[in-house]
C-alpha cells in the first residue's frame, strides 16, 4: 500500500499533534473533544480517511492513525467528506444544503453549490460522490439526487432526479436500525449513474445521453447502499436491514437471490479483482465475508455499532466503523489482521462544570460517552464515570457534590446512581422515581451537601444524603422538571418545569428543609412598565405590544440560576416552536420575587438556554441555539446592573447547551450539541 501513497500537500506536519488548538474560533484557547462523528470515508489509495463531524471534517493518516488536518470549521455540520479518485479534491455535503469542494493542495474551498436550500427542511446532503473521471460530482438527500459538471463552474445541475412526494416512513423499516437514505453510485467508466427513484426502485441513467436505461424494482425494503461492479455489468444494492441484491443491468434481473446476513445491516465493496466483500455489522461485532465464496474472513469486536457510520476502503482491505461510545475502529487485513481505535470524538456535551481548583472540568454527554473528567491544562481525559456500560444518558443528568467527592447521575431508567469519584465505585442507588422519564432527571446537590434534589416527569424529590433516603416529595410539582438551582445558603432552591401536554412553563421556589413551596415565580406576559425591558428599541416595542403572546403558552424557563450572592434569580425563556420568537432572560428579586428586568437578546440569540453568572456577580452569560443564517452560535455577556450586552463570542457550529465559569472567573467553558467543549480566557472580555 505504501508504494501507491498519494501526497496531500496541505496536511499538517506529523509533529503537530495538539488537536485541541486546531482551527479554534476567535477567542477560544482550547477544545475538548473532536466533535460528533457523522461519517467515515477512505481515500482511493487507502492511505487516508476522513471523519465528518459537526465541527468540520478531519483527515487521518491510516498507517499511523494520526490526525493530519481539520477543515471546514468556518461552518461545520459536515455530513460526509469524500475524495476524488485522483485525490486532488475532497467534496463535502453538509446539513445546511451545501455541497463544497476542497483543494487538497492548499486546504481551501474552491466550489460551493446550493444543493437544496429551497427543499423545505429536507435539505441535508447525505451523500456526495465524484465520478471516477472527475468530470461529475453528484449529491443526494431526502427524495432528491443531482449531478453537476462542477469543474466548468456551472452550478446548475446537469441532471436532477426527484422522487414525487416522498414520505419519510416509506424509507425506513420498522424494527431495524437507521441508515442513510437515497444512495447514489457512478459506474467505473463514469457513464452510468444509479439513484433511488421510489421506495422499491433503483433507476440507472446514462449521463452522456441523459436517458434512463434501467429500472430495478422489487426491493423488499428501502435501499441504503449502491455499488457498480468493476466491469459495469452489475449493480449491488443493500436494503435497510442486512439484505444484499445484485442486478444484471442490461436484463434488469437479479443475478443471484437476495442474501440476508445475520447482523443489523451490511456494508460491501468490490475488490480490484471483482470479488464482493461484505461487512456484516452486528451490535458488538463486525464479521467480514467473501460473499462470492460464502467464506467468513475475519471477526472483530466493536461496541454498539448498529446505526453508526461504517465504510470499506476501495480495495476492501480496510474497514472503519464508529461506535456509540464515539470511538472509531479501523480494521486492517494483515497477517494477522489488526484493529486500531480513535477515542477523541464525543457526543453532545449537555452539561459542563469546573471543580473548585479550576484544574478539572466534568462534562455530561449524550449516549454512552457518559461523564468525562478532563484535565484543563493538558485537555486530556482523566476518567469516565460511570465506567462504560450499556447506559444511555441524556441532558443535564449530573450533579457534583460540594465536597467534590461524589457524582450523582441519571441512569435513564427511573433511578439515580451516586458514584465515589476517586475510587470509581458505586455508593448508592436511588429508585424512588415512579414516572418514566423521556428526557432525563435533573439533579442538584445543596451547597451544604446535606441534600440532593431530583426532578423528573411530573415529580420531584428531596433526598437525605447521609442516609440516601427520600426526605420530601414535592407534591405541588405537577409538571416535568427541566432545571434546578440552589440558593448559595442552601436553604432555598428553585425549579423550572414544563407541562408535557401544553408546553406551558412554570417556576417555583422551595424550602429544602420542609419540602414546601415558598411561592411560584411570576411570569407576566408583558411588563406594565416598559422600562423593565432591555434590548434593541424595535424588539422592546414588539414585545411590549404583545408580539410574543402567540408563543407564550408554548414557552418555558429551560435554565434557571441564582446569582453568587443569592439576591437575584435568572431564567432563560424560550420555545421549541420553529419560528417562535419568545427569547427572554428574566431576572427576579429573590426576596420579593418581583421581576427586576427582562433582557430581550434579539433574533440572533434564539433559545438562550445556557445560563450562568460570573463568580463576581457582575455579569450574566447566555449561550444560544443555532438558527438559519448563522455560521456560529452566540455566547453573550450581559452586565447585570444595566442589562447591557457588553460582549459577544461567536462560538460553536450549533446549539450551546451549557456554560460554566471556573471558580476564579478566569475561564469559561461552553458545551455544545456539536460534541465539543470550548475553553475561553475571560481576562480580555471581563477583566480579572
pLDDT digits (tens, 9 = 90+) for 604-662: 788 899 999 999 999 999 999 998 889 999 999 999 999 999 999 999 999 999 999 99
Could you count the other beta carbons within 10 Å of the beta carbon of residue 146? 23
Summarize the confidence of residues 425-429 as an average pLDDT.
Answer: 94
Confidence of residue 3 (pLDDT cuts 50, 70, 90): very low
Mean pLDDT in the chain?
Answer: 90
Residue 394's contacts (CB-CB under 8 Å, 6 or more residues apart) are: 350, 366, 410, 412, 439, 440
What span, in angstroms and rounded, lies between the C-alpha atoms of 141 and 123?
7
Confidence of residue 366 (pLDDT cuts 50, 70, 90): confident
Task: Answer whether 564's CB lies under 8 Å from 613's CB.
Answer: yes
Summarize the confidence of residues 220-225 as an average pLDDT.
Answer: 84
Confidence of residue 37 (pLDDT cuts 50, 70, 90): very high
φ, ψ for residue 122, nearest 5 deg: -95, 55
Summarize the confidence of residues 339-367 as an average pLDDT.
Answer: 92
178: pLDDT strictly greater than 70: no
What span, in angstroms and rounded, lies between the C-alpha atoms of 625 and 677?
15
State whether the Cα torsion 454-457-460-466 is positive or negative: negative
587: pLDDT strictly greater than 90: yes
Summarize the confidence of residues 390-404 as an average pLDDT.
Answer: 74
What span, in angstroms and rounded, lies between the C-alpha atoms of 294 and 322?
26
Share of the chain above pLDDT 90, in %: 71
Beta bridge partners, 198, equal 201
Residue with cell 484557547: 29
What span, in angstroms and rounded, lies between the C-alpha atoms of 367 and 302?
16
466: pLDDT strictly greater than 90: yes
Summarize the confidence of residues 445-469 as an average pLDDT.
Answer: 95
Q: Write down how long the chain is.
A: 688
pLDDT digits (tens, 9 = 90+) for 264-315: 889 999 999 999 999 999 988 999 999 989 999 999 998 777 678 899 999 9
Supply the pLDDT for residue 2: 43
pLDDT digits (tens, 9 = 90+) for 62-99: 999 999 999 999 999 999 999 999 999 999 999 999 99
Supply the pLDDT for residue 7: 80
Confidence of residue 222 (pLDDT cuts 50, 70, 90): confident
Coil/strand/helix, residue 198: strand
Domains in the chain: ranges and CATH: 75-342 (2.130.10.10), 346-520 (2.130.10.10), 522-687 (2.130.10.10)
Beta bridge partners, 277, equal 269, 290
pLDDT digits (tens, 9 = 90+) for 10-36: 999 999 999 999 999 999 999 999 999
Supply the pLDDT for residue 397: 76
pLDDT digits (tens, 9 = 90+) for 105-154: 999 999 999 998 666 567 899 999 999 999 999 999 988 999 999 988 88
593: pLDDT strictly greater than 70: yes
Supply the pLDDT for residue 425: 93
Amino acid at each position: 500500500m505504501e508504494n501507491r501513497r498519494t501526497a496531500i500537500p496541505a496536511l499538517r506536519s506529523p509533529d503537530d499533534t495538539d488537536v485541541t488548538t486546531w482551527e479554534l474560533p476567535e477567542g477560544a484557547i482550547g477544545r475538548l473533544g473532536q466533535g460528533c462523528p457523522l461519517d467515515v470515508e477512505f481515500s482511493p489509495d487507502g492511505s487516508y480517511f476522513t471523519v465528518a463531524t459537526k465541527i468540520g471534517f478531519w483527515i487521518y493518516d491510516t498507517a499511523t492513525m494520526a490526525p493530519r488536518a481539520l477543515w471546514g470549521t468556518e461552518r461545520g455540520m459536515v455530513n460526509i467528506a469524500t475524495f476524488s479518485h485522483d485525490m486532488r479534491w475532497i467534496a463535502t455535503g453538509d446539513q445546511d444544503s451545501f455541497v463544497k469542494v476542497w483543494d487538497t493542495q492548499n486546504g481551501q474551498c474552491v466550489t460551493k453549490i446550493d444543493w437544496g436550500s429551497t427543499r423545505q427542511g429536507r435539505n441535508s446532503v447525505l451523500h456526495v460522490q465524484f465520478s471516477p473521471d472527475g468530470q461529475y460530482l453528484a449529491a443526494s438527500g431526502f427524495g432528491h439526487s443531482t449531478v453537476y459538471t462542477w469543474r466548468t463552474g456551472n452550478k446548475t445541475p446537469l441532471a436532477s432526479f426527484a422522487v414525487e412526494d416522498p414520505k419519510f416512513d416509506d424509507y425506513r423499516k420498522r424494527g431495524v436500525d437507521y441508515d442513510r437514505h437515497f444512495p447514489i453510485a457512478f459506474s467505473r467508466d463514469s457513464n452510468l449513474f444509479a439513484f433511488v427513484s421510489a421506495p422499491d426502485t433503483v433507476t440507472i441513467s446514462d449521463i452522456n445521453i441523459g436517458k434512463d436505461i434501467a429500472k430495478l424494482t422489487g426491493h423488499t425494503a428501502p435501499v441504503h447502499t449502491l455499488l457498480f461492479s468493476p466491469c459495469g455489468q452489475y449493480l449491488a444494492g443493500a436494503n435497510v436491514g442486512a439484505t444484499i441484491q445484485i442486478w444484471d443491468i442490461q436484463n434488469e434481473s437479479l443475478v443471484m437471490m437476495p442474501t440476508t446476513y445475520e447482523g443489523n445491516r451490511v456494508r460491501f465493496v468490490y475488490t480490484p479483482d471483482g470479488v464482493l466483500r461484505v461487512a456484516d455489522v452486528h451490535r458488538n461485532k463486525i464479521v467480514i465475508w467473501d460473499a462470492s465464496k460464502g467464506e467468513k474472513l475475519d471477526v472483530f469486536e466493536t461496541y454498539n455499532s448498529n446505526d453508526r457510520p461504517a465504510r470499506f476502503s476501495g480495495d476492501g482491505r480496510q474497514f472503519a466503523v464508529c461506535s456509540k461510545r464515539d470511538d472509531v475502529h479501523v480494521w486492517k487485513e494483515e497477517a494477522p489482521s489488526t484493529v486500531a481505535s480513535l477515542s477523541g470524538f464525543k457526543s453532545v456535551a449537555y452539561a459542563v462544570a469546573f471543580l473548585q481548583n479550576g484544574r478539572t472540568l466534568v462534562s455530561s454527554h449524550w449516549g454512552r460517552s457518559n461523564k468525562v473528567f478532563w484535565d484543563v491544562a493538558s485537555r486530556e481525559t482523566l476518567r469516565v464515570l460511570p465506567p462504560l456500560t450499556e447506559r444511555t444518558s441524556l441532558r443535564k443528568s449530573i450533579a457534583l457534590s460540594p465536597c467534590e467527592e461524589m457524582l450523582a447521575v441519571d441512569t435513564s431508567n427511573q433511578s439515580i446512581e451516586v458514584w465515589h469519584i476517586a475510587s470509581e465505585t458505586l455508593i448508592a442507588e436511588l429508585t424512588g422515581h415512579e414516572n418514566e422519564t423521556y428526557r432525563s432527571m435533573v439533579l442538584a446537590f445543596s451547597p451544604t451537601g446535606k441534600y440532593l434534589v431530583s426532578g423528573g416527569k411530573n415529580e420531584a424529590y428531596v433526598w437525605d444524603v447521609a442516609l440516601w433516603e427520600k426526605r420530601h416529595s414535592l407534591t405541588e410539582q405537577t409538571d416535568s422538571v427541566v432545571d434546578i438551582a440552589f440558593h448559595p445558603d442552601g436553604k432555598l432552591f428553585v425549579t423550572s418545569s414544563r407541562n408535557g401536554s401544553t408546553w406551558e412553563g412554570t417556576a417555583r421556589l422551595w424550602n429544602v428543609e420542609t419540602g414546601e413551596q415558598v411561592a411560584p415565580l411570576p411570569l407576566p406576559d408583558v411588563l406594565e412598565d416598559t422600562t423593565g425591558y432591555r434590548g434593541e428599541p424595535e424588539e422592546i416595542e414588539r414585545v411590549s405590544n404583545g408580539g410574543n403572546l402567540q408563543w407564550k403558552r408554548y414557552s418555558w424557563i429551560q435554565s434557571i440560576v441564582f446569582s453568587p450572592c443569592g439576591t437575584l434569580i435568572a431564567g432563560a425563556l424560550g420555545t421549541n416552536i420553529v419560528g417562535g420568537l419568545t427569547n427572554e432572560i428574566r431576572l427576579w428579586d429573590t426576596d420579593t420575587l418581583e421581576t427586576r428586568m427582562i433582557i430581550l437578546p434579539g433574533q440572533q440569540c434564539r433559545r438562550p438556554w445556557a445560563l450562568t453568572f460570573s463568580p463576581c456577580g457582575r455579569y450574566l452569560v447566555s449561550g444560544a441555539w443555532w438558527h438559519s443564517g448563522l455560521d456560529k452560535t452566540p455566547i453573550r455577556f450581559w452586565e447585570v446592573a444595566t442589562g447591557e450586552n457588553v460582549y459577544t463570542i461567536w462560538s460553536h457550529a450549533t446549539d450551546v447547551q451549557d456554560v460554566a465559569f471556573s471558580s476564579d472567573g478566569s475561564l469559561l467553558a461552553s458545551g455544545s450539541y456539536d460534541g465539543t467543549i470550548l475553553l475561553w480566557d475571560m481576562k480580555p472580555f471581563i477583566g480579572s
